[in-house]
């Protein structure tokens, strides 16, 4: 079947969104221009499972314009698809299987369409496509030139395949590019998570107690923005002593979730782990507490416990589900516990995705150019490509930096200079 999206008549609105994103993604647009000229991906079949947003749209167009024979796209989350963008991409000649509000069966059916399109190179966000190509579609997995992975959770899953000796193709962990995680995970998620919380609830963050679970790159960004929005207290919970210490020195309160549970007005999980907020925590929460998740899967706020503690449940606003507990307290779960920034808002700002997706583009090109030369391993993006993205980004922002003098190069190379 050639594409399945919600409504093709939304294409015009989607085109405008894509136009807006292009205006704010100068690095990727430069790679696209170059790609149009040199067609480095000529003949390549590409399969992608990514959040179907306007920024992903620009990446898909860049890959197609660089000569890819076919680009097939499915959503990496059942609720994150922008239906107008999906329609516009179909019009552009991309095969798209995505619509907002998929059931779990529909979600996997769409990913299957990508696997069955026999891609040479695959792009994934979260690892569901990679997992499918290593189980149900192992045979097709064995034919793949290489893959990329966008997010921390997906990289963890791929590393586990690598450890068990099961990885079927080389993978570039795009998430591990400095120009990705330092910016996308931190500043992108930091801002867009609050964008999602505010669009869903319209609450005032100033004066509230915000609890952030996990002080990784995503958690750091969320805590920083909570402070910037005037939160009264920003509390971090962690399991890693080094990151906990870092949070303390960054000026945040650190305590276990069991203590934070009774203090928070807004909770945001960003751990990539499961059941970070569970029964014992819900039991202590204040009436009206808001629960949001920014981690990849909807397992961080443990919904089965919330359901079993509740006597009533209703959708009170779009993306806000009210749970009434036995003692009458109400807890509000945003975006069904899925990535709040992508479900209740539009995901990261385009300026940030410009770098993440420039890295994706360069990783696809790298895998194609190095076909047959790479091992079945998870690779970090080559440093030169990472630096190239940073240089291009600075250039498009009109910012210049210093260069090492020959004496400085020499000095940094030598062990013989002392005081
Ligand atoms: P990270 O590995 O840098 O940080 C995760 C942190 O959570 C670690 O410091 C870890 O010690 C901590 N943690 C683990 N279990 C915990 C627990 N039970 N309680 C408290 N802390 C705990 O990962 P990163 O890059 O910050 O990503 C976090 C999640 O966010 C991943 O699932 C990732 O895929 C996702 N992500 C989501 C984005 C979005 O757009 N919403 C964007 C980028 C990443």
Per-residue tens of pLDDT for the chain, all 419 residues: 689 999 999 999 999 999 999 999 999 999 999 999 999 999 999 999 999 999 999 999 999 999 999 999 999 999 999 999 999 999 999 999 999 999 999 999 999 999 999 999 999 999 999 999 999 999 999 999 999 999 999 999 999 999 999 999 999 999 999 999 999 999 999 999 999 999 999 999 999 999 999 999 999 999 999 999 999 999 999 999 999 999 999 999 999 999 999 999 999 999 999 999 999 999 999 999 999 999 999 999 999 999 999 999 999 999 999 999 999 999 999 999 999 999 999 999 999 999 999 999 999 999 999 999 999 999 999 999 999 999 999 999 999 999 999 999 999 999 988 88
DSSP result, 363-386: HHHHHHHTTTTS-SSEEPPPHHHH
Determine the pLDDT at residue 92.
Answer: 98
Nearest to 349 by CA among 178, 186, 192: 192
Regarding the beta carbon of 300 and ligand 1, being less than 6 Å apart is answered no
Residue 175 CA to residue 321 CA, distance in Å, equals 31
Among 79, 126, 152, say which to mutate for ligand 1: greatest number of ligand atoms within 8 Å of CB. Answer: 152
Between the CA of 219 and the centroid of ligand 1 the distance, in Å, is 7
- Closest ligand 1 atom to the C-alpha of 181? 25
Residue 96: strand, helix, or coil: strand
Beta bridge partners of 47: 72, 122
Q: Distance between CA 290 and CA 288 in Å, rounded?
A: 6
- Give residues with Cβ within 8 angstroms of 115, minimum separation 6: 47, 129, 132, 133, 136, 137, 140
Closest among 225, 212, 230 to 276, alpha carbons compared: 212
Nearest alpha carbon to residue 266 among 338, 196, 205: 205
User: What atom in ligand 1 is closest to the CA of residue 341?
Assistant: 41
**DSSP structure class, residue 204:** -
> pLDDT per residue over 191-200, tens digit each?
999 999 999 9
Task: Please give the number of the atom of ligand 1 that sits closest to the Cα of 154.
Answer: 34
Atom of ligand 1 nearest to the CA of 348: 40
Res 417: pLDDT: 85
For the record, the structure tokens of 209 come out as 């107690």
Distance CA 302, CA 163 (A): 28
With H, G, I as helix, E, B as strand and everything else as coil, classify residue 317: strand
The CB density around residue 185, as the number of other CB atoms within 10 Å, is: 24
Q: How far does residue 353's CA lie from ligand 1's centre (Å)?
A: 18
- Tell me, in angstroms, the distance from the centre of ligand 1 to residue 51's CA: 18
- Residue located nearest, by CA, to atom 19 of ligand 1: 238
DSSP state of 286: P
pLDDT in tens, 151-188: 999 999 999 999 999 999 999 999 999 999 999 999 99
| Angle at 124 (CA atoms; ends 122, 130), nearest 5 degrees | 75
Q: Which atom of ligand 1 is closest in space to residue 297's alpha carbon?
A: 32
Torsion angle defined by CA atoms of residues 172, 173, 178 and 184, in that order, rounded to the nearest 10 degrees: 120
Nearest C-alpha to atom 9 of ligand 1 is from which residue? 216
pTM of the predicted model as reported, rounded to 2 decimal places: 0.95
- What was the pLDDT predicted at 1? 63
Q: Do 21 and 350 touch, CB atoms closer than 8 A?
A: yes
Q: Is 339 in the pocket of ligand 1 (CB under 6 A)?
A: yes
| Residue 308, SS3 per DSSP | helix
């Amino acid at each position: 079947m050639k594409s399945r999206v919600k409504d093709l008549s939304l294409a015009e609105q989607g085109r405008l969104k894509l136009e807006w994103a292009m205006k704010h993604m100068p690095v990727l647009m430069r790679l696209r221009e170059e790609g149009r000229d040199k067609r480095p991906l000529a003949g390549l079949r590409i399969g992608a499972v990514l959040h179907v947003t306007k920024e992903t749209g620009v990446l898909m167009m860049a890959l197609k314009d660089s000569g890819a024979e076919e680009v097939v796209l499915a959503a990496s989350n059942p609720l994150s698809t922008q239906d107008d963008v999906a329609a516009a991409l179909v019009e552009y000649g991309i095969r798209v299987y995505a619509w907002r509000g998929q059931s779990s069966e529909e979600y996997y059916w769409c990913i299957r369409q990508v696997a069955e399109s026999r891609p040479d190179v695959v792009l994934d966000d979260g690892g569901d496509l990679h997992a499918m190509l290593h189980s149900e579609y192992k045979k097709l997995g064995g034919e793949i030139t290489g893959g990329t992975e966008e997010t921390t959770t997906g990289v963890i899953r791929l590393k586990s395949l690598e450890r068990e000796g099961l990885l079927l193709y080389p993978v570039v962990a795009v998430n591990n590019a400095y120009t990705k995680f330092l910016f996308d995970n931190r500043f992108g998620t930091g801002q867009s998570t609050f964008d999602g919380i505010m669009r869903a609830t319209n609450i005032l963050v100033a004066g509230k107690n915000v609890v952030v679970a996990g002080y990784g790159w995503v958690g750091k960004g969320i805590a920083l923005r909570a402070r910037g929005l005037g939160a009264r207290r920003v509390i971090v919970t962690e399991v890693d002593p080094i990151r906990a210490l870092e949070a303390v020195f960054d000026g945040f309160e650190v305590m276990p979730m069991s203590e934070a549970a009774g203090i928070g007005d807004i909770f945001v999980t960003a751990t990539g782990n499961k059941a970070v907020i569970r029964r014992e925590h819900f039991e202590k929460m204040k009436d009206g507490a808001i629960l949001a998740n920014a981690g990849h899967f909807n397992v961080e706020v443990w919904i089965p416990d919330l359901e079993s503690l509740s006597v009533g449940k209703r959708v009170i606003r779009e993306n806000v589900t009210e749970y009434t507990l036995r003692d009458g307290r109400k807890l509000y779960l945003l975006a069904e516990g899925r990535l709040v920034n992508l479900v209740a808002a539009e995901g990261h700002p385009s300026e940030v995705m410009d770098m993440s997706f420039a890295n994706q583009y360069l990783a696809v090109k790298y895998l194609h150019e190095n076909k047959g030369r790479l091992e079945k391993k998870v690779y970090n993006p080559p440093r030169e490509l990472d630096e190239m993205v940073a240089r291009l980004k600075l250039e498009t922002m009109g910012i210049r930096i210093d260069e090492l003098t020959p004496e400085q190069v020499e000095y940094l190379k030598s062990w013989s200079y002392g005081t």
